[in-house]
Amino acid sequence: MIYYPGGGYTEANFRKYIQIKLALAEKGFVVASAEYRVIPETFKGAMLDAKEAIAYLRENADLYHIDVNRIGVFGQSAGGYMAQMMGVTSNTPYFLPDDLSMEDVRVSAVFSMFGVSNLLTVGKNLDIQATIGLRHPRLFG
């Protein structure tokens, strides 16, 4: 598992979320934290860095006892978005560093903790009355 830290695209402190990383390690996962370029760098720089981290683990799989068929990524907030983008672009040439192939940056799992999504469609089909009513039956009397 590669962790991409959140930070509003202005920081990428890899020391965040130590409890989650330790819990994963205790369950037998190899866990790495990856920093990536942040503002004022361009978006592409962060994507290239995130993919380089995946390629690094693939390249050093024997050293770290990593199953290259089971590499996952996760992060929160901006890091969650980075994880989402690694999944979405995993089998495409988009944002691929010049010296890497799509196989070098392929991931098998993505876990995004409140990563950026399309806020125009969040809850589009949600029956809010039924949802809130289940918790507060007096609200819709």
Asked if the model's pLDDT at residue 70 lies above 70, the reply is yes
Asked if the model's pLDDT at residue 139 lies above 50, the reply is no
Asked if the model's pLDDT at residue 136 lies above 80, the reply is no
Output the average pLDDT for the chain: 86
pLDDT cut 70: percent of the chain above it: 82
Asked if the model's pLDDT at residue 85 lies above 70, the reply is yes
pLDDT attached to residue 129: 56
Please state the rounded mean pLDDT for residues 122-141. 52
Asked if the model's pLDDT at residue 135 lies above 70, the reply is no
Q: What is the 3-state secondary structure (H, E, C) of the chain?
A: CEEECCCCCCCCCCCCCHHHHHHHHHCCCCCEECCCCCCCCCHHHHHHHHHHHHHHHHHCHHHHCCCHHHCEEEEECHHHHHHHHHHHCCCCCCCCCCCCCCHHHCCCEEEEECCCCCCCCCCCCCCHHHHHHHHCHHHHC
Please state the rounded mean pLDDT for residues 76-99. 92
